[in-house]
Structure 1
């Protein structure tokens, strides 16, 4: 390792994170992909079905689905997300020495890319990926609003919980990048309202009319017919979730609450370790040129966070929800940085001892998890 890397702890932390990525990947591919694999098998064979878009797309190219395809598709999505995020960071901040702590607290956060590596095959990363795309492309025309609507529809078809997970963040990005700079016109107001109505209607249809309309055994038989190795019936153990009503999901979540709530102090600790990042974010908001912009940003953050609170009451994958909430905060931070500012915000200090310790701890934590911490 060269001398420059040792002399700059933030560069060393980035190297540590790269090693952690590899370690998490090697651990992940050794685990059976129960939920991710079955999502590649479910399609629209029995009519309109929730959580079936990815499986339907796979069925266009593969009659039989091997298990390795879970890691191939999810790994490709992860690599694309990493590349686009680095491009976004370069465009928004640049890879200057003074911004390396910010890069460490984002790209090296256990909430972000490392946890997406641990949850390979789950649908969370697609919301992040499409939101990053909206942060990278021009936002001057009404086509931007319509594209965001298409992205939202795709995400709801992938999994309807995206209506709480990433669709609010996409809406926040559209407001901050298009509506605030361009102002309100009849065209973009109508387009925005139509996008909200379309996404909401699709969510209602998916949630309440997207259950499989076939006997459970017929459904399982169809899934088994699409498996490259039909003997792996253990990978079909989660087929029941396509029949489970919302009331059952809520009941299961509240039944597990006394045990899962024990992880909240750990989540709070992980969020606290990102304090330098949150302070920088608050500084960006305070530095915005207009008071109205500040209020709209705060309202957007509150709405995005409210969606995650609702998810906490409905589905018990708490580690994933906390992680994705943090990712949404990172994405909105980029959108805020693109707004006009009255003054420059001081970057996260590179030579502060406490900040350096926090960055080192964040870099060493490999992931947050799926349900409970770690």
Structure 2
């Protein structure tokens, strides 16, 4: 039996990943949820402001927000995302012994579910979850494009940085699943263009006109009225976020750059550890039946990556950004698989020694982090 496990260890690696995720969760709930908690307190009480949709929804349910709600809401969202990803993987590749290495390299990646557990309560996971919803729903009419626009609006209202983080991936999913499949005409191109313009306009409104219109002391006083335990003033130390202009965010990011840039070799190594997955992805693109499809996918990957470079220049949560970039690559991989192919692409080999080593290493890495690696 030991020999069998060593020859095909992927079920064991899947079990280890589950244990690692439990460990990350236990560690996470012991940490103060500084940024996630205050986002549950902020709503539209003083008019339209950025980063307030989640808090506004919470305000409809309860007047007082307990700290444990961060972990409860984040945990439910995490479980939903796990379920959605498992469903799209089953639909696209199926769960067999041959596809298990592919599933481990994605679901067990420190960039993906493990890091979403580390960032429990942050807004990143909502972009992934809603993109997965679009991957699963029918894409036969303009209703699909309208739904994608609506979900993008929701993401921008949750946090305007989603315009760079997940909206480019959502656009790619719409192009692949609707426009490349059902063709382009004047009506659906015009509809898509208007939808993109609306989402972009909302982003600029949130970025430049979504600041809190009252003094910070009054804002903090209001937030205390929504806290289940107003004595926890330490959880309000990030109230300045709703007053900080873009220029200050960029200045802070570049001020931290000399120190944070030291993590780039670590990020590069983590990306390299996924080499079997990237080879499979490249082969999947190369196997597409249409040259136009190949060029559009490559252009989309460049566009998504460029959006993340812009985020790197604006906000210094580098570990989160590189992790979400990898998640977007996983999502596009599934979208590419839905396109017509000229030939079948060989899966990641289950018994290759180097692949097994890489799979073991990424399994044992618990998460990437929020700002700096680990």
Q: TM-score range by the shorter chain?
A: over 0.9
Question: Residue 334 of structure 1 aligns with which residue?
Answer: 334
- Partner SS state of residue 97, structure 1: coil
Q: Is the 8 A contact 1:6 1:12 kept in 2?
A: no
> Are 1:293 and 2:330 matched, yes or no?
no
Deviations 1:294-335 (A, max 9, x none): 000000101100000000000000000000000000000000
Paired positions, count:
374
- Partners of 1:151 and 1:298 lie apart in 2 by 24
Question: Residue 46 of structure 2 aligns with which residue?
Answer: 46
- Partner SS state of residue 98, structure 1: coil
Bigger mean CA deviation after superposition, 6-15 or 317-326: 6-15
- Partners of 1:188 and 1:211 lie apart in 2 by 35
Q: By how many angstroms is 1:186 displaced?
A: 2.4
Consecutive aligned runs of 4 or more in structure 1 exceeding 6 Å deviation: 1-4
Question: Residue 354 of structure 2 aligns with which residue?
Answer: 354
**Closer, same or farther: CA 37–2 of 1 in aligned 2, 3 Å:** farther
Q: By how many angstroms is 1:190 displaced?
A: 1.5
Question: Residue 247 of structure 1 aligns with which residue?
Answer: 247
Question: Residue 144 of structure 1 aligns with which residue?
Answer: 144
> Are 1:262 and 2:248 matched, yes or no?
no
Question: Residue 37 of structure 2 aligns with which residue?
Answer: 37
Question: Residue 159 of structure 2 aligns with which residue?
Answer: 159
Deviations 1:31-68 (A, max 9, x none): 00000000000001111010000000000010000000
- Partner SS state of residue 85, structure 1: helix
RMSD of Structure 2 on Structure 1 (CA):
1.1
Q: Is the 8 A contact 2:8 2:350 kept in 1?
A: no
Question: Residue 203 of structure 1 aligns with which residue?
Answer: 203
Question: Residue 189 of structure 1 aligns with which residue?
Answer: 189
Question: Residue 371 of structure 1 aligns with which residue?
Answer: 371
Q: By how many angstroms is 1:187 displaced?
A: 2.3
Q: By how many angstroms is 1:140 displaced?
A: 1.0
Give structure 1 stretches of 5+ with no counterpart. none
Q: By how many angstroms is 1:191 displaced?
A: 1.5
Q: Is the 8 A contact 2:8 2:351 kept in 1?
A: no
**Closer, same or farther: CA 16–204 of 1 in aligned 2, 3 Å:** same
Give structure 2 stretches of 5+ with no counterpart. none
Q: Is the 8 A contact 1:142 1:187 kept in 2?
A: no
Structure-2-length-normalised TM-score: 0.99
Deviations 1:4-49 (A, max 9, x none): 7666301110000000010000000000000000000000111101
- Partners of 1:5 and 1:44 lie apart in 2 by 55
Q: Is the 8 A contact 1:24 1:114 kept in 2?
A: yes
**Closer, same or farther: CA 59–4 of 1 in aligned 2, 3 Å:** farther
Deviations 1:231-266 (A, max 9, x none): 000000000010000000000000000000000000
- Partners of 1:229 and 1:304 lie apart in 2 by 41
Q: Is the 8 A contact 2:78 2:125 kept in 1?
A: yes
Question: Residue 222 of structure 1 aligns with which residue?
Answer: 222
Q: Is the 8 A contact 1:273 1:362 kept in 2?
A: yes
Structure-1-length-normalised TM-score: 0.99
Deviations 1:119-149 (A, max 9, x none): 0000000000000001111111110000000
- Partners of 1:2 and 1:197 lie apart in 2 by 58
Deviations 1:162-203 (A, max 9, x none): 000000000000001110011112221121101110010000
